[in-house]
Structure 1
Amino acid sequence: MERIWKQYGGRLAGIAGGLLFGFIYLFMGLWKTLIFGLFVLAGYVVGHWMDTRENLGDVLESIVPDKWFQK
């Protein structure tokens, strides 16, 4: 099982995430699903920041495309 997770871990996590968002979409609707996705993204950003203790702006720049930070 560990070998399968190492080789296909990203794919399995992607399938699980897709199923989760698919069921949320089916039961809650599009806008509630998008808001839920934003909360999940915010949780990921905060968790990444807590793990690395980097500047929060640096974490956001590493996740969000550069074109969003143009001045």
Structure 2
Amino acid sequence: MWVQIWERLLEQHRGKTFGVIAGVVLGIIYLIFGLFHMLIFVLIVYTGYYIGKKLDRNEPVFPAEDTWRRLMDKWRLFR
């Protein structure tokens, strides 16, 4: 049963699955070696999920072109 669940997760949600696993591993490392801050742990897990979701959709993780275009449009007002 568990094998089927993992196979299905890896087939349909590979990026999100690896993102959450990476987030949990990094979060546990943070909890063991750092101070106990649950909000930081949740932030790390969510960041892994978010990056994995972007990779599943074949979207750029950080949309550099869109960000650059927005910044340039705002600064053009001062020219």
TM-score band, normalised by the shorter chain? 0.3 to 0.5
> Could you say which structure has the higher helix fraction?
1
The higher-RCO structure (CA 8 Å, 6+ apart) is: 2
